Structure 1
Amino acid sequence: MKTITNIYKWCAHPHHLFFITIAALLLPNIALCVTEQLGVAASLANVLLPAGIYWMAMTLSRKPGKPIWGLFLFIFFAAFQIVLLYLFGKGIIAVDMFLNLVTTNPGEAMELLDNLVPGVAFVFIVYLPILILGVVSIRGKKTTTKTFVHNQRIIGGALTAAGLLSLSAAYITDDDYRAELDLYPANVIYNIYLAGERTYQTNHYAETSKGFSFKAKKETAYDGREIYVIVVGETARACEFSIYGYNRPTTPLMQRERGLVAFSNVMSQSNTTHKSVPMLLSAASATDYDRIYREKGIIEAFKEAGFHTTFISNQLPNHSFIDFFGEEADDWTFIKEHSKEGANTPDEEMLTILNKVLAKNRKRELIVLHCYGSHFNYRERYPRSEAFFRPDDASEAKASNRQQLVNAYDNSIRQTDRLLHDIIAALRKTGAVAAMLYTSDHGENIFDDDRKLFLHASPTPSYYELHVPLIAWVSESYDRLYPGIHATLVANRHKPVASSASFFHSMLGLAGISTPYRADSLNISSGKLHSAPRRYLNDHNKAMPLDKTGLSKKDLEMIGNVGKKH
């Protein structure tokens, strides 16, 4: 007890608190020099310039607590950055991270934080005591001396000058260096600005897309019943589907389905839900993402072509483009809104609504299902009675738990297999001309290699986040009405496809809906499908070649090997 008291007194001393605060604020700067592999000049600028500014800021009051709380936002950034480095191993706080803060529901966030104990505990141990000691400093009588403040201002000025010289050297020695991208926390502040700009554009979507029309029409004059179903999965990576050769039976039901075609060489253009799903549900892609602010989604195209439309989501609304496109449907529901707060709602509950819609016996129907799929915490995505792979109880984000995490994840894929099987069974039962198209928004990291990456949405993507399943199914009656389409799907099943770019065009093609916005070069049911260069939508919404995204050599090799397997 005496030792703790002595430590407290030492830390609370104004002079000591001054240096402790600066050291804690510089932890992310030092770490990022290593994780981002910055050059010598860039590393010096990344440490010296912020150090000088923090140093000067801490001299603004002889009570260190006042500048500590004045720097609260930067303390928050530091804590946030440390947790992200713990989780992803590299990358600054991205624009998408700030957008995730406002589009992730509280239950989902707590489910994640509960299992990031080491990283969260570290930032609490480091930064919370500083804030508490700051309050003690403000209320107490102890202050730094005038001589101390004078000397520290000289040191702070010298560090700032050295940092500015290093910054100039970084620009001279590296043509790609940009302070708004490479200097922490300037890059974080820039990302906040971009996040605000995107939020503004998103909030004004109703105005900027007003009056838009696809000019969509049905190509055929078929008088019978037609039903098309879009299933948007969550966090499903193709390498865990046995239908693609995975050595565990995760998709036994799909593998027996007649009329089903699994596309093997498919990459998502984003590892974040709030960008990937809107691209799946619209004509926007990585190369022309900004059109998302001006155009409506695929549901509107089906409505124009005379279809009744229904949107069913097992995720909470979050005022994003997913909501906007979903709410363009004739009928829409977010089933989690009607569940007890914090309760786990299995994707199978969407089947009840699906069957009610099918029972209406409408002539032309589009149904969109947005799943919760394999989102972490994996073991919450399926009933305990369906735990095929065991043990699956460990959920803390630690590499030592990998096997149990994989067991739980694979169990969640089996639930997706059952869901798709049941959807197909329901469609087949109607006897209608029917087709279903399924893909996932992105994949997932599960401590797969020595990088020890976990989850998704990392600033730098990995193979495991990008390689996703894409599955098409057509009924026997569909095959009779549209002869040759199933054969074309089979012929195209191993061609390289960007799911985010192709999904919109493929669904319109399957349904026989023509519009000037449909591109059959991206349509998996068309003989005109061709392989365009793959692009990734980076954090600043720029379409990047995969070898310019930060993907490791191993990632690029695995992506290349997917195409070589066939």
Structure 2
Amino acid sequence: MPARPASLLAAFAVWTILFLPSMLAGASPRAVFLLLLSALLFWPLAVWRPLRIVSVLFLVILGAANIVHDGFFGYLIDEFFIASSLRTTSSETREFLTSLPMGTMVWCAVWLLLCAGIVRFMLRKGNEPNLQGRASQRLAIAALLVWAGFLGYSHWTGPLDTTTALRKLHIVYPLHIANAGWRQYQITDALLYTPLLPEPTPPSPQSQVDTVVVVLGESASAHRWSLLGYQQAPTNASLQDIPGLQVARVLANGLNTAAALPYVLTGLSALDSVTHQAPSFIDLAQHAGYKTIVLNNSRYLRTGEDFLTHALRRSANVYLKVGDGDYDEVLTPALQTALQDPAPRKLIVLHTYGSHVTAASRYPKTAHQLADSYDTSIRYTSDLLAQWIRMLDTSSPQQSALLLYASDHGVVVPPCSGSSRSGGSLSSYEIPALAWANPVSLAQNAQLLTPLRQQDPAQVHISNTVIPEMAIQALGYSLQALSPTHRPRQVLLDAEGHPWEHSKAQLCQGQGT
């Protein structure tokens, strides 16, 4: 029995609802066209019974995940969501869920209720003419012909590899998840690459700093650093009067660790790093003859390697997991042991847990308590940085020493949200960077801290790729030691494809100094 046009239209409208999360990126005539195109191209999944329920359930779950991800970061899930999911522990997941914005939870509830009706419709109406009639089947065949036409045209115009095909098709919802999965697969597949190291080793040992400590921060926003203008609490009081200290407001290269931290290690994204076999500053330190020691307090699932864990372990002479998201003071005894190591030149990396995910859980009761829990977590980090600087300063006073710190990304803070949380805002992109050098280092190289010097601490001129750059220069290398595709720190990072000065106007700027 043929389906009546009105009946088929109603069935197609119900099917189209499952593709509505594609509109989270913004409503426009183009977005509406892509919504209808996506529903049409995947209509065969609604017609053929064996695929129908599986497809509906997949779209329901994916839609909920997209709503949550958009609620945090302002865009649909990507390869960094996949990477984060693969490394996130159950306790970290619970913390994330407790920090869900109320609006996101409401939209999720509305979505699931709406989808419950769609599933009921598909189960009850699945054998009726609106899905099984000739018109419905012809529509499905037309969709398949469009797919075949795309594949044929693409093959005719040139070789069609998976990367190219998914890059072209990612605008068709939900193929963005296929594109994200493929990009993550490319990173994982090439994980064990051999870094391309410069030859010969650094030519001028006299310019090398004897002990370099790099602290990888987590979830710290420059908007809550009193040294960078925040006036509501003395969050950096312990760092205030330390001589040889330089701080700056810099730009994060992503909104979560999987996206942002690779830039602090290699100066490139994870995918570009594996594509160009880029060395991390740890690789370069070992190549320069330094003893490399990595101390890690980050949480991650240890069932498999990912880009971040491999990049930290690959060239570490000593790798020690000293904590699993414990208070960062757990790193202090391990740092003291590392500083006492007799190696003449050392690079020590501390991977902290910072203010992630729930700031109130990131510091002990004995820490300086401020009115705001996020401010307290920043103060706790500052107190540790001050302690670690003093330890470095006293460990070998006759040798040169340098400590570098930057967060991977920041967080959303009030008034852009009810409390501090992961997400996209001005305070998420603008993060603190710190450098300290002892008098021996500054006498040896007066320009050592220059990259972080800027006249106005409220302005952003560089990104946090300044950290690997300063690290390798302290090791005796020029910037050319990083991958040739690395963007130098003087080039201001674009955000979401737009110059930063344009992009920042689109973000919540209510947080303030």
Using the size of structure 2 for normalisation, the TM-score is 0.77
Aligned 8 A contact 1:434 1:477 in 2: yes
Query: What does 1:480-495 correspond to in 2, within 5 Å?
Result: 480=443, 482=444, 484-485=446-447, 488=450
In the TM superposition, what is the alpha-carbon distance from 1:230 to its structure 2 partner?
0.5
In the alignment, what sits opposite 1:200? 186
Question: In the alignment, is residue 469 of structure 1 matched against residue 427 of structure 2?
Answer: no
SS of alignment partner, residue 113 of structure 1: helix
Q: Of the candidates 482, 491, 494, which is equivalent to residue 536 of structure 1?
A: 494
Aligned 8 A contact 1:240 1:246 in 2: yes
In the TM superposition, what is the alpha-carbon distance from 1:377 to its structure 2 partner?
0.8
Q: Report the Cα distance in structure 2 between the residues aligned to 1:361 and 1:109, rounded to whole angstroms.
A: 41
Q: How many residues align?
A: 476
Q: Of the candidates 275, 283, 308, which is equivalent to residue 322 of structure 1?
A: 308
Q: Report the Cα distance in structure 2 between the residues aligned to 1:43 and 1:453, rounded to whole angstroms.
A: 32
Instruction: Please list every run of 5 or more consecutive structure 1 residues that lacks an aligned counterpart in the other structure.
Output: 1-14, 165-177, 391-406, 524-529, 539-543
Spell out, residue by residue over 1:103-123, the C-alpha distance to the aligned partner (whole angstroms, 9 max, x if none). 333322221013327535753
Q: Of the candidates 43, 50, 59, which is equivalent to residue 74 of structure 1?
A: 59
Aligned 8 A contact 1:214 1:515 in 2: no
Q: Of the candidates 12, 28, 36, which is equivalent to residue 26 of structure 2?
A: 36
Q: Report the Cα distance in structure 2 between the residues aligned to 1:515 and 1:216, rounded to whole angstroms.
A: 14
The structure-2 alpha-carbon separation of the partners of 1:292 and 1:419, relative to structure 1 and needing over 3 Å to count, comes to farther
The structure-2 alpha-carbon separation of the partners of 1:516 and 1:44, relative to structure 1 and needing over 3 Å to count, comes to closer
Question: In the alignment, is residue 553 of structure 1 matched against residue 505 of structure 2?
Answer: yes
Which deviates more, 491-500 or 78-87? 491-500
Question: In the alignment, is residue 435 of structure 1 matched against residue 435 of structure 2?
Answer: no
SS of alignment partner, residue 277 of structure 1: helix
In the TM superposition, what is the alpha-carbon distance from 1:72 to its structure 2 partner?
2.3
Q: Report the Cα distance in structure 1 between the residues aligned to 2:410 and 2:420, rounded to whole angstroms.
A: 11
SS of alignment partner, residue 315 of structure 1: coil
SS of alignment partner, residue 438 of structure 1: strand
In the TM superposition, what is the alpha-carbon distance from 1:313 to its structure 2 partner?
1.4
In the TM superposition, what is the alpha-carbon distance from 1:182 to its structure 2 partner?
11
Aligned 8 A contact 1:533 1:545 in 2: no
Aligned 8 A contact 2:247 2:453 in 1: no
Residue identity matched to 1:201: I
Q: Report the Cα distance in structure 2 between the residues aligned to 1:91 and 1:487, rounded to whole angstroms.
A: 36
Aligned 8 A contact 2:166 2:178 in 1: no
Question: In the alignment, is residue 350 of structure 1 matched against residue 302 of structure 2?
Answer: no
Residue identity matched to 1:358: L
Query: What does 1:149-164 correspond to in 2, within 5 Å?
Result: 149=131, 153-154=135-136, 157=139
In the TM superposition, what is the alpha-carbon distance from 1:365 to its structure 2 partner?
1.1
Q: Report the Cα distance in structure 1 between the residues aligned to 2:489 and 2:197, rounded to whole angstroms.
A: 29
In the TM superposition, what is the alpha-carbon distance from 1:456 to its structure 2 partner?
4.0
Which deviates more, 550-559 or 422-431? 550-559
The structure-2 alpha-carbon separation of the partners of 1:72 and 1:503, relative to structure 1 and needing over 3 Å to count, comes to same
In the alignment, what sits opposite 2:151? none
SS of alignment partner, residue 533 of structure 1: coil
In the TM superposition, what is the alpha-carbon distance from 1:453 to its structure 2 partner?
10
Q: Of the candidates 244, 259, 283, which is equivalent to residue 275 of structure 1?
A: 259
Aligned 8 A contact 1:314 1:334 in 2: yes
Question: In the alignment, is residue 335 of structure 1 matched against residue 298 of structure 2?
Answer: no
Residue identity matched to 1:434: A
The structure-2 alpha-carbon separation of the partners of 1:490 and 1:455, relative to structure 1 and needing over 3 Å to count, comes to closer
SS of alignment partner, residue 92 of structure 1: coil
SS of alignment partner, residue 309 of structure 1: strand
The structure-2 alpha-carbon separation of the partners of 1:496 and 1:242, relative to structure 1 and needing over 3 Å to count, comes to closer
Residue identity matched to 2:68: V
Spell out, residue by residue over 1:84-140, the C-alpha distance to the aligned partner (whole angstroms, 9 max, x if none). 33334x4222332233222333322221013327535753675389579969997xx
Spell out, residue by residue over 1:162-208, the C-alpha distance to the aligned partner (whole angstroms, 9 max, x if none). xx9xxxxxxxxxxxxx99789987244144234323423333232x4
In the alignment, what sits opposite 1:517? 481
Aligned 8 A contact 2:78 2:177 in 1: yes
The structure-2 alpha-carbon separation of the partners of 1:152 and 1:58, relative to structure 1 and needing over 3 Å to count, comes to farther
Query: What does 1:198-347 correspond to in 2, within 5 Å?
Result: 198-206=184-192, 208-209=193-194, 212-213=197-198, 215-217=200-202, 219-221=204-206, 226-247=210-231, 248-264=233-249, 266-284=250-268, 289-290=272-273, 293-317=276-300, 319-327=305-313, 328-336=315-323, 344-347=325-328
Q: Report the Cα distance in structure 1 between the residues aligned to 2:449 and 2:91, rounded to whole angstroms.
A: 44
Question: In the alignment, is residue 418 of structure 1 matched against residue 383 of structure 2?
Answer: yes
Aligned 8 A contact 2:451 2:470 in 1: no
SS of alignment partner, residue 385 of structure 2: helix
Residue identity matched to 1:36: G
The structure-2 alpha-carbon separation of the partners of 1:447 and 1:51, relative to structure 1 and needing over 3 Å to count, comes to farther
Q: Report the Cα distance in structure 2 between the residues aligned to 1:354 and 1:456, rounded to whole angstroms.
A: 29
Using the size of structure 1 for normalisation, the TM-score is 0.71
Q: Report the Cα distance in structure 2 between the residues aligned to 1:107 and 1:278, rounded to whole angstroms.
A: 24
SS of alignment partner, residue 503 of structure 2: coil
Question: In the alignment, is residue 503 of structure 1 matched against residue 467 of structure 2?
Answer: yes
Instruction: Please list every run of 5 or more consecutive structure 2 residues that lacks an aligned counterpart in the other structure.
Output: 1-7, 147-163
In the TM superposition, what is the alpha-carbon distance from 1:291 to its structure 2 partner?
6.2
In the TM superposition, what is the alpha-carbon distance from 1:67 to its structure 2 partner?
1.9
Residue identity matched to 2:307: F
In the alignment, what sits opposite 1:96? 80
The structure-2 alpha-carbon separation of the partners of 1:348 and 1:293, relative to structure 1 and needing over 3 Å to count, comes to farther
Q: Of the candidates 330, 354, 373, which is equivalent to residue 408 of structure 1?
A: 373
RMSD (CA atoms): 4.4
In the alignment, what sits opposite 2:347? 366
Residue identity matched to 1:517: A
Which deviates more, 247-256 or 506-515? 506-515
Q: Report the Cα distance in structure 2 between the residues aligned to 1:59 and 1:312, rounded to whole angstroms.
A: 55
In the alignment, what sits opposite 1:7? none
Aligned 8 A contact 1:263 1:469 in 2: yes
Aligned 8 A contact 2:38 2:172 in 1: no
SS of alignment partner, residue 499 of structure 1: coil
Q: Of the candidates 12, 15, 18, which is equivalent to residue 25 of structure 1?
A: 18
Aligned 8 A contact 1:312 1:350 in 2: yes
Question: In the alignment, is residue 49 of structure 1 matched against residue 37 of structure 2?
Answer: yes
SS of alignment partner, residue 446 of structure 1: coil
In the TM superposition, what is the alpha-carbon distance from 1:419 to its structure 2 partner?
1.1
Residue identity matched to 1:123: C
Residue identity matched to 2:312: G
In the TM superposition, what is the alpha-carbon distance from 1:277 to its structure 2 partner?
1.7
Aligned 8 A contact 1:179 1:186 in 2: no
Q: Report the Cα distance in structure 1 between the residues aligned to 2:81 and 2:114, rounded to whole angstroms.
A: 26
Q: Report the Cα distance in structure 1 between the residues aligned to 2:400 and 2:227, rounded to whole angstroms.
A: 25
